[in-house]
Structure 1
Amino acid sequence: MIQLLVMAKAPVPGRVKTRLCPPCTPGEAAAIAAAALEDTLDVATQISAVRRVLVIDGDYAAPPGGWERVPQRGVGLGERLAHAFADTALPGVPSLLIGMDTPQVTADLLTAAAVTLRRDGAVLGPADDGGWWALGLTDPADAEVLPHVPMSRADTGKRTVAALRRRGTRPTFLPGLRDVDTAVDAITVAALCKSGHRFPTIVADLLPAAGPVMTGSPA
């Protein structure tokens, strides 16, 4: 068993998904972010875990169903990620951390990631933009490398892997996913989401100029 961490920012206009503006207004960008977070939490609730923790920046309640809520702390994303692993550590229980920017993630993918994490000790899911969408560690101290890794760059994933390897940790790669930064990302990712999810519906409503968003297989 593993524990699952969801690293997120409260969907407040002007503080989330600012790269969606334009064409979105800050309020529309926040609505898209809220849908991405809600879909991610719904999927995360479906997998087997010792504990589920929402590691949140801002005011946002933990979902029902046994979720815990831990505030983010630190200066900069790398420091916040390192503290997320440290502040939620459970002795002998690996932690799988994901973000809120890949609402196309599925319960099957997270379950497979958890199995791989238990088997191999560390996992990393690369993102199409060069970052990563998931990081799983058995030893939370390994996350101490993250404040020294430049974040939100085309080589963030490679630098993260290199930093972990220098500590003697060799993460197994998970399937890659595209995260949502721009309107083009949102439209592309929405087409990969299962029908019935909030994200493809709101993207179709708020970004109609890009054409209809076709959803994937039924939930």
Structure 2
Amino acid sequence: MSQRLILFSRYPEPGRSKTRLIPALGPEGAADLQRQLTEWTVFTAHCWQARSPQTEVLIATSGGTSEAWQQWLGAVEVQPQAEGDLGDRLHQAFQDSWQVGCDRTVIIGSDCPQIEPHHLDEAFAALQQADVVIGPASDGGYWLIGLSQPQPQLFQNIDWGSDRVLVQTLEAAQVADLQVAQLESLSDLDRPEDLNLWQPQPQLSVIITTLNEAANLPQTLASIGDAPVETLVVDGGSQDATVAIAQAWGAKVIHSPAGRGRQFNQGAAAAHGNILLFLHGDTRLPPRFWEHVLQTLQPPQVVAGAFQLQIDSPDWRLRWIERGVRWRSHWLQQPYGDQALFLSRDRWRAIGGFSTGPLLEDYRFVRQLRRQGTIAIASAAVMTSARRWQRRGVLQTTLLNQLILLAHHCGVSDQQLARWYR
């Protein structure tokens, strides 16, 4: 069964967006609120889509070009809304969805900051039995409507923009003898008195790089669980079951040439969160990791953060490695990539992302960040695989890492360093 979620939204243009809020916020402020609400709704939709990968997410746009929308929101599927009033546009969206074979279609707007992924679960589940599902809005309209097939009568003779929209729609459904399921009532943000509904929400995207990580990836993804985050797995050409595992767990999979810096950059470019967490495929996050991320980034002088490090082995020598990492991270502000670096999307973009050479992408990245402010360390720890130390030996691995850094500062090429490392 094919299903589609459609988000109706307007491009944030001063003077044309959220016009009823212009008296309170001004044209630019109203447009900025439109931008924030759209970003939050798109992020919520993609978090939900990760749990329902069989569902297509489409943005039905008003204003702005397709290129402008994709430059703003990244790799999203957009389609201009039809001409006419809101009823005409809604009906045409359902009709188009039906014609391409979607058995269930749900439409939401970008005006309801209270929408959560579980509301979308409930809407599509309701359409297994009902003809129509509606999410009533407190202002007399609705924040969601879903159909199992087009019902043009639901969008005719409706006083759009009034407090009669919900009542008139339900009356039309009754006349057509349609079975209607109703979700909980939520509030749209349309009027100045609604502004207390919105507090800008942080949006976290977890970007995982993989290359033949079938043995470790299930534990990594399990540590994310059903956290309120977007999960992207950027695979560098795995020959094992890595991609299938990522898809089974509901992660968005991106294919990339191998190279951790290149993979991280490609994932960040496709992410929708305004906070990015970069995670190795063999590293597990701590419980409620997202709270640690937000708390760590809160001080104004902090430009990025990382977790403490635990190594998944009882070998007592690795406890000394952990202590060294703790000292290096706290006192030198120099965490490495296996500590799950995190920062704002704007900060990642401002420093040009990760280097794409064969080695030291995290070391260079952190050195750039240190020039801009504090790199803080969270109170919790990630758990990373011990395979590097087990493969070469604890002492040999530690010495090799330090020699690589020394050679780098002496001007040895990345290609030569990579040959030594491997």
Amino acid at match of 1:120: A
Contact 2:43–2:203, Cα closer than 8 Å, also in 1: no
Retained in 2: the 8 A contact 1:161–1:170? no
**Alpha-carbon distance in 2 for matches of 1:118, 1:181:** 31
Residue 202 of structure 2 is matched in structure 1 by 196
Label 1:92 to 1:20 Cα distance change in 2 as closer, same or farther (>3 A): closer
Matches within 5 A, 1:12-51: 12-47=13-48, 48=52, 49-51=54-56
Letter of the 1:9 partner, please give it: R
Corresponding position of 2:58: 53
Number of residues of Structure 1 aligned to a counterpart in Structure 2: 195
Query: What amino acid maps onto 2:119 in structure 1?
Result: L
Q: Supply the distance in 2 between the matched residues of 1:110 and 1:178 (Cα, whole angstroms).
A: 16
Separation in 2 of the partners of 1:136 and 1:197?
A: 26
Deviation at 1:152, TM superposition (A): 1.1
1:1-219 matches, cutoff 5 A: 2-47=3-48, 48=52, 49-59=54-64, 60-62=68-70, 63-64=73-74, 67-89=76-98, 90-140=100-150, 142-187=151-196, 189-190=197-198, 195-196=201-202
**SS of aligned partner of 2:128:** helix
- Tell me which structure has the larger Cα radius of gyration: 2
Amino acid across the alignment from 1:186: L
> What is the percentage of aligned positions where both structures have the same residue?
28
- How far, CA to CA, are the matches of 1:145 and 1:123 in structure 2? 12
Distance 2:122 2:169 in 1: 21
Whether the aligned pair in 2 keeps the contact of 1:37 and 1:103 (CA below 8 Å) is: no
Task: Say if 1:149 and 1:160, in contact at 8 Å, map to a contact too.
Answer: yes
User: Structure 1, unaligned stretches of length 5 or more?
Assistant: 199-217
Superposed CA deviations along residues 62-101 of structure 1, whole A, max 9, x for unmatched, are 5446x42111112111111111111232425210000010
Q: RCO (CA 8 Å, sep 6+): is it higher in 1 or 2?
A: 1
2:58 is aligned with what amino acid?
Answer: V
CA contact (8 A) 1:2 1:118 kept: no
Greater mean deviation of Cα atoms: 165-174 or 97-106:
165-174
Match of 1:204 in 2: none
Structure 1 or 2: larger strand share? Answer: 2
Local SS of the residue matching 1:103: coil
Secondary structure of the 1:150 match is: coil
Deviations 1:86-126 (A, max 9, x none): 12324252100000100221111211222112232320011
What stretches of structure 2 of length at least 5 have no aligned partner?
Answer: 205-290, 295-422
Distance 1:64 1:52 in 2: 13
Partner AA of 2:202 in structure 1: G
Question: What is the distance in 2 between the residues matched to 1:105 and 1:145?
Answer: 23
Q: Which amino acid aligns with 1:137?
A: L
Q: Report the TM-score when normalising by structure 1.
A: 0.81
Query: Structure 1 residues 127, 33: CA separation in 2 closer, same or farther (over 3 Å shift)?
Result: same
Q: Distance in 2 between matches of 1:71 and 1:11?
A: 15
Q: How far did residue 166 of structure 1 move?
A: 1.9
* Structure 1 residue 18 displacement after superposition: 1.1
Question: How far has the Cα of 1:23 moved from its partner?
Answer: 1.9
Partner secondary structure for residue 21 of structure 1? helix
Output one character per residue of 1:113-155: Cα deviation in whole Å (capped at 9) or x when no partner: 2211223232001100000010000012x04530321111111
TM-score (norm 2): 0.43
User: C-alpha separation between the residues in 2 aligned to 1:170 and 1:13?
Assistant: 41
CA distance in 2, matches of 1:14, 1:124: 30
Say which SS state the counterpart of residue 172 (structure 1) adopts. strand
